[in-house]
Structure 1
Amino acid sequence: MAKTDSTGSTWRYRWAHRQNVRRVSTYRGAVAAWRRRDDELRRLRALATDFQGSAAAGAGLPLELAADEVVLWALPAAQLVEVRHTAVLPAPDLTVAARTEPLRPRRPDGVRVTDAGMAVITSRRLVLLGGRGRRDWAYGRITGLAHDPAAPVTLIQVLDRRRTSGLWLPTDAAPDFRFKLTLAFADAIEQRAAVLDQLDELIAEHAQLKPFRTAAVTPGQARLSSFVPGGRRTIAVAAAIALLVPAALIESDPSDPTGGAELAAAATPAPTPTVAPALIRPAVPRDALGTPPREPTRSPRPSPSTTRDPRCGAPENPLGYDFCGGTRIRRPAAEVCDWFDCVPDFWAGRGYLVQCRDGSVSLAGGRSTACAHHRGVRRTISK
């Protein structure tokens, strides 16, 4: 027998079950994304600790190494690219690239491929052993370095070469190449400890962002609007239609272009006037000079003041959240999804609370991906 509440209905239990299933699914998705990022950061931390090479690693390569030079990493599939229109690149730094969208296997505009071969990272330089020759980028002579955020292309400028060149790598190998090149450059300037400190800070910050499980809802928390598919939005739309349709029917009847005026005139018996109404004019008192008195000026009646909505259109909630443009909310209350329609993977967001154009709520405000699958951002939720 189905469970019922004190009124004998079962919709409250069905609502609570759907809400709890959705919350568990959202929580598991957020935890999975958090763990992937945590594993990646810890992998980079371990790699930065153990990253080292040896002279034996360069055995068999057609590359002469200096006395204190060792091979750190090699990739047999790389392409040499050159830029047609040279621009000044930012100076190389030791910043560990943040997580971005997956790289696309495309070549940026203005970049042409001139050779292909093996890319080798040593303790003193980056080398491409190509079919047309060798191209070196010594760390001590690099003046500019830039990684394309959308394509697996790295561009480099050096002192002894006017044209900007670089490498185009396979998409799956580009992230590791960029991180290992950063480590090699850090070793060249004796700053590997700075990279390790940066990774430790990123791991500590990420640990603070671990998702937490929200409390389960009970049938007693169900609202009457939850019984209607779409909730309060459906009720509001239905109420607006119920008000607009009768008004439109009264305003214009498509079956009668005259709006029923002729029928009303035919049904109403016309009075028999003795004098034409246009000729009847009321007597106006005049003064001694025959000038009619002026009518008193009437001030317009003030329109009734409207009551200001304290939440500026936000749904009623005990959290004090509204759309009035106050302080942005970056750490919402755990029960925020009890009062707002949260998007899937809500707790995976890294920003502030915003409302999407379809009415749902996202925690990715301030980012380009906010409400990407919900028709964009409509407004900010404040407190």
Structure 2
Amino acid sequence: MAKTDSTGSTWRYRWAHRQNERRQRAFRAADEAWRRRDDELRRLRNLAVSFHGSAQAGVGLPMELAPGEVVFWTLPAAQLVEVRHTAVLPAPELTVEADPPALRPRRPEGVKVVDAGLAVLTNRRLVLLGGRGRRDWAYGRMTGLSHDPGAPVTLIQVLDRRRTSGLLLPTGAAADFRFTLTLAFADAIEQRAAVVAELDELIAEHTAAQPKRPAVLTPAQARVTALVPGGRRTVAVGAALALLVPAMLVASNPPTRAGSERAAAATPGATGTPAPPHVAPAVQVRPSTSPEPSRARPAPPRGTPQPPVERRCGAPANPFGYDFCGGQRIRRPAAGVCDWFDCVPGFWSERGWLVQCRDGSVSRTGGQRDVCAGHEGLRRTVWR
């Protein structure tokens, strides 16, 4: 026997069952993806807090470690790449990707593989032990670092080398390499706490975005449009056609007014009698040039709604939408930002995201080692 609700409608019960199943499937898929990312962020935070490399991992490597140097990561299937012509790479930053993109096993255009071998990542340098020799990238001499967003390629620029070079890795190892390189560089500049703080911020944002379990729909919430295939869209399209088709028919064949035939027969042209000649009036009457009385304009309504208050969370009013509430970090602020915010001296020569210092000024040193140096330290991030 078919199940019915309290109203005795079987179709309402089926509608509620289908809708609840669909919403639960969407929720389970979103929740599973959210939990995977949450586990990954917490794993990275544990590594950032507890992992400090190992000197024992360097035993057996065909390279000599300096005093105090420890090994963070090794990979035997790395390829050395070079780029003949390239722009200046951005300075290394202590950033962790909130949602790493999917990488493809390809080599970008203009990148040439010149060697292959064992990649070793320590707390002081990145080394490739290849068949043609050894290539070192010391963190203290790095001037540029760029991770390709679509390929497992990392390019590096250093002071003592003119040509840009880097590593091409297997796609499965690229994410761990990039994060471990960030940790190693943070240790080199004594800023590991900044990486941990950024991971805490990412975890908090991710926790706030956790999917909510949908409410259960009841048969009483079913609408009559659910009986029509396509639901409300089909009903809306049908109503639009019902209004449009008669209007088109009327426009293509307008109705004839009653008595129009008799009016046409009574015109002088129908009898063939010529019309009398036009006689000009004896007195010409000029049109009056007096201006027409102006019409009074209606007064504006008294209850004019006021514009909504802009959300700024303490930030000064500005046309760029910058605030202290949250959103996206600002790495390239607008040209007129210093007209609305109190910028620090040398603002445009800094590299980093936009932050507010404790003395009230704004700086582009977010994520840098010397964030808000000389301005009482970091207070908060400026968002858009």
Shorter-chain TM-score tier: 0.5 to 0.7
Equivalent in the alignment of 1:154 = 154
Number of the residue aligned with 2:318:
none
Single out whichever of 205-214 and 175-184 deviates more from structure 2. 205-214
Paired residue type of 1:64:
E
Which runs of no fewer than 5 residues in structure 2 stay unpaired?
289-306, 311-326, 328-384
TM-score of the pair, normalised by structure 2: 0.66
Are positions 1:163 and 2:163 aligned together?
yes
Q: What TM-score, normalized to structure 1?
A: 0.67
Q: Classify the secondary structure of the residue corresponding to 2:81.
A: strand
SS class of match (2:75): strand
Q: How far apart in 1 are the matches of 2:112 and 2:248? A: 64
CA distance in 2, matches of 1:274, 1:191: 99
Aligned-partner Cα distance in 2 for 1:282–1:326: 70
| Partner Cα separation in structure 2 for residue 282 and residue 232 of structure 1 | 67
After superposing the two structures, state which structure 1 stretch, 269-278 or 164-173, moved more.
269-278
Following the alignment from structure 1 to structure 2, what is the Cα–Cα distance between the partners of residues 281 and 229? 70
**CA contact 1:285–1:292 (8 Å) conserved in 2:** no
Q: State the AA in 2 paired with 1:146.
A: S
Distance 1:154 1:66 in 2: 25
Contact 1:117 1:128 in 2 (8 A): yes
1:26 & 1:75 partners in 2: Cα distance?
Answer: 39
The equivalent residue for 1:94 is 94
For this pair of structures, how many residues does the alignment match? 294
Deviation per CA, 1:185-230, whole angstroms, max 9, x where unpaired? 1111222222122222222222222222122111111222232222
Cα separation, partners in 2 of 1:252 and 1:134, compared to 1, 3 Å: same
2:115 equivalent in structure 1: 115
Measured after TM superposition, the shift of residue 131 of structure 1 is 1.1
Deviations 1:316-366 (A, max 9, x none): xxxxxxxxx9899xxxxxxxxxxxxxxxxxxxxxx9xxxxxxxxxxxxxxx
Equivalent residue for 1:370?
A: none
Q: 1:270 to 1:142 in 2, by over 3 A?
A: closer
Contact 2:78 2:169 in 1 (8 A): yes
Distance (Å, rounded) in 2 between the aligned partners of 1:56 and 1:5: 70
Flag the 1:285–1:68 CA change in 2: closer, same or farther, 3 A.
same
Distance 1:12 1:161, change over 3 A: same
**Matched residue SS, 1:173:** helix
1:177-256 equivalent positions in 2, closer than 5 A: 177-249=177-249
SS where residue 171 of structure 2 aligns?
coil
What does residue range 45-64 of structure 1 map to in structure 2 within 5 Å? Answer: 45-64=45-64
8 A Cα contact 1:147 1:155, kept in partner: yes
The residue aligned with 1:315 is none
Work out the CA distance in 2 between the residues paired with 1:168 and 1:131.
15
- Pairwise mapping of residues 69-80 of structure 1 onto structure 2 (< 5 A)? 69-80=69-80
Q: Could you tell me how far apart the structure 1 residues matched to 2:123 and 2:164 are? A: 22
Question: Corresponding residue for 1:362?
Answer: none
Closer, same or farther in 2 for the Cα pair 1:56/1:5, shift >3 Å?
Answer: closer
Closer/same/farther in 2, CA of residues 37 and 6 from structure 1, 3 Å limit: closer
Map of 1:128 onto structure 2: 128
Match for 2:17: what amino acid? H
Identify if the C-alpha distance between structure 1 residues 245 and 275 changes in structure 2 by more than 3 Å, giving closer, same or farther.
closer
Structure 1 Cα separation of the partners of residues 55 and 207 of structure 2: 39
Moved more, 175-184 or 86-95: 86-95
Instruction: Give the match for residue 173 of structure 2.
Output: 173
Query: Hey, what's the Cα distance between the residues in 2 that align with 1:241 and 1:124?
Result: 72
Q: What code does the residue aligned with 1:56 have?
A: Q
Percent identity over paired residues = 69
Pairwise CA RMSD of aligned residues?
A: 3.7
Give the Cα–Cα distance (whole angstroms) in 2 for the partners of residues 175 and 23 of structure 1.
33
Shift in Å, 1:52: 2.8
For 1:226, give the aligned amino acid: A
- Go from structure 1 to structure 2 and tell me whether the alpha carbon gap of 1:195 and 1:285 turns closer, same or farther (over 3 Å shift): same
Amino acid at match of 1:69: E
Q: CA deviation at 1:174?
A: 0.2
